[in-house]
Amino acid sequence: MAGPGSAVTVMFDGDEKDVDTFVLAEHATESSDRTCSTASPLGSALDGSRVRDVRTYSLPSGAESTVTVLGITWP
């Protein structure tokens, strides 16, 4: 299960070419290009997720996006 400190690989909106990996961070101050705070919409959607989960979250524009969890690793 994904949580702060885990690296989560996701596919955006079912697009196999749009895959990225983020490290979930508990605090926004820990953020970097490849870190996603669990307080953010994407980080909140990923927190507690499992491989193959499909999660929906809101973009700043108000539109919704989905991510499919492809992998979760822990350091």
46-73 confidence digits (pLDDT tens): 999 999 999 999 998 999 999 999 999 9
| CA gap 19, 64 in Å, rounded | 17
6-55 confidence digits (pLDDT tens): 999 999 999 999 999 999 998 766 555 688 999 999 999 999 999 999 99
Instruction: Provide the whole-model pTM.
Output: 0.88
| Other beta carbons within 10 Å of 58 | 13
| CA gap 26, 38 in Å, rounded | 5
